[in-house]
Structure 1
């Protein structure tokens, strides 16, 4: 048992700042209060206590080819099966993949991340490799698998269903690349089987303008419309919405994820975060391919805050942005799988304690902090 004393705590789903103490026992927050004090006292006078980060979208297997292929198009970089990424993954040994993934996970831990959602290539073997790599690291991977049987113009739907069910026995969900690689029939099998299993179905949508145009020309539906109609529980990117795409998503109960740095690196656009927030969406945020960006959420948050303000000619509320990396996930059905906690009594202890540099605790985290400014990272897997 220990007490984090005299910190400025960002409490609850809305990250309300309050100068109080937090008592933690066996991985749970048992009391929050100005006079609360039990066990070992850790005085962090004036430091900011923030929920630890969830990196909501990452391809950690890319860790083996950091910064390779810079300047290539989205398809040349990541489209299966011949993109730079997929060729590199097919040529790498298991040992190379594990060591590279370990390195990226430690970088995430050191920069305040305790959970990440990974789009895992390589079928069942790929899922098992990430589980092996993460077993001794204080971080929780939420692994979404995929299988080569998903792809092609005329896939064997029987084989697809079998592959999905086998993956769901060991993974937290399924994540095909995008609608440019799978048929509607395959999409419906994935979302239906995931829903039956109570797991996550996730897919990239509207990452590029060309993807959207191709989808509209060939099917009369945007990729976002396809994602909503096929009932995926999570839609990633939404960088190039058309017509009433975002309104359609706002009327569904689907989780959304944005990846601004990856979109910028691949030159595919800027996610309309301001409009998403106006419509009542509560997006998550991720760093995407490790081959493109470091998995450091501090860097993602600062970049996004400033990019959105310039692009939309309006300031992005830093509270809303910080929620994307912390508590927004707690409001979605998928949190039953992720189990990421906000700072409240009775919840798991999942928070970071950072040096204070300014009177604004949100901008302090987003605009000032770096990995070296984290005093403590507390989570239920490993604790002080």
Structure 2
């Protein structure tokens, strides 16, 4: 049992500022209060106590080829099955992939990340490789699998259904690449089977303008429209929405993830984050492919804050931005799978304590902190 005292706490779903003590016993927050104090006393002297981070969207497997293919197009880099990433993964040894994923996970742990949602290539074997890599690391991967049987103009739907069911026995959900690679029938099988198993179905939508144009030309619907209509539980990117796309998302219960640095690296656009937030959508934020970006959420947050300010000529609320990597997932339809926690009594202790450099604790985490400024990281597997 221990007590964190004299910290500036970002408490609960809304990250409400408070100056109280936090008592933790056996990995659970058992009390929060000005006079609460039991066990080992840890005086953090005005440091900021913030919920741990979740990286809302990753492809950790391509940790083996960091920065390879820089300046190539989106399709050349990551479109299955012939993208730079897929060729590299196909030719890599298992131990090489596992070692690179381990390095990336430790990098995330050291920067305050306790959860990440991964699009896992390689079918069942790909899922098993990540589980093996994560076995002794204090972080929770939420693994969304896929299978090569999903792709093509005329897939064997029987084989697709079998592959989905096998994956769902070991994975947390299913995540095909995008609507440019699968048919609507395959999409529906994925969504239906995930719903039956109470797991996550996720898909990239509107990452590039060309994806949207192709979808409109072939189906008279945008990729976002198809994602909403198919009822995937999570939609990733939404970088290039068309008229009414975001309104339709705001009326659904679907989880949204944005990836501003990846979009910038691939030169596909700037996420309309101001509009997304104004519609009441509560997105997550992710760093996407490790081959493109470090998985560090501090870098993602600062980049996003400043990009949105200059691009949209309007300031982004820093508290709402910080929620995107801390508490937004706790109120979403996917948190029964993710199991992310708040700083709240009765919740698992999942938070970090960081040096304070700013009069604004939210901007302190977004605009000032780096991994080296974290004093303590607390989660189920990593305790004081």
TM-score (ref. length: structure 2): 1.00
Q: 1:308 — aligned with what? A: 308
Match of 2:378 in 1: 378
What residue in structure 2 maps to residue 70 of structure 1?
70
Q: Does 1:251 align with 2:240?
A: no
CA offset digits 1:45-95 (Å, max 9, x no partner): 100000000000000001000000000000000000000000000000000
Q: Shift of the alpha carbon at 1:382?
A: 2.1
Asked if 1:201 is matched to 2:205, the reply is: no
Q: Which residue of structure 1 aligns with residue 119 of structure 2?
A: 119
1:290-301 equivalences in 2 (<5 Å): 290-301=290-301
What residue number does 1:6 align with?
Answer: 6
**Moved segments of 4+, more than 3 Å:** none
**Aligned-pair CA distance for 1:316:** 0.3
Pairwise CA RMSD: 0.4
> For residue 79 of structure 2, what is the aligned residue in structure 1?
79
Give the drift of 1:359. 1.2
User: Which ranges of structure 2 fall in alignment gaps of 5 or more residues?
Assistant: none
- Please show how residues 76-115 of structure 1 align to structure 2 within 5 Å: 76-115=76-115
- What is the CA–CA distance in structure 2 between the aligned matches of 1:240 and 1:214, rounded to whole Å? 13
Cα distance in 1 between the residues matched to 2:146 and 2:41: 46
Q: CA deviation at 1:381?
A: 2.1
Map 1:29-178; keep pairs closer than 5 Å: 29-178=29-178
Q: Aligned equivalents of 1:197 and 1:175: distance in 2?
A: 15
**1:261-281 superposed Cα distances (whole Å, 9 cap, x missing partner):** 000000000000000011000
Between the aligned partners of 2:13 and 2:252, the Cα distance in structure 1 is 21
- Show structure 1 runs of 5+ residues with no match: none
Between the two proteins, the alignment pairs up a number of residues equal to 384
User: What does 1:307-346 align with in structure 2 at a 5 Å threshold?
Assistant: 307-346=307-346
Measure how far apart 1:321 and its partner are: 0.2
* Structure 1 residue 337: Cα displacement: 0.7
Per-residue deviation, 1:383: 1.2
Q: Distance between the aligned counterparts of 1:214 and 1:298, measured in 2?
A: 35
Cα distance in structure 2, aligned partners of 1:382 and 1:48: 19
Equivalent position of 1:191 in the other structure = 191
> Matches of 1:68 and 1:61 in 2, distance apart?
13
1:219-242: per-residue Cα shift (whole Å, max 9, x none)? 000000000001100000000000
Deviations 1:329-367 (A, max 9, x none): 001121001110110000010100000001100000000
| Residue aligned with 1:29, SS | strand
Q: 2:10 aligns to what SS in structure 1?
A: strand
3-state SS of 1:31 partner:
strand
**How far apart are residue 207 of structure 1 and its match?**
0.0
With normalisation by structure 1, the TM-score equals 1.00
Is the partner of 1:166 in helix, strand or coil?
A: helix
1:380 Cα deviation from its structure 2 partner: 1.1
- Whole-Å separation in 1 of the counterparts to 2:57 and 2:333: 17
Partner SS, residue 300 of structure 1: helix
What's the offset of the Cα at 1:143?
0.2
CA distance in 1, matches of 2:209, 2:330: 31
| Partner Cα separation in structure 2 for residue 129 and residue 137 of structure 1 | 14
TM superposition shift of 1:38:
0.6
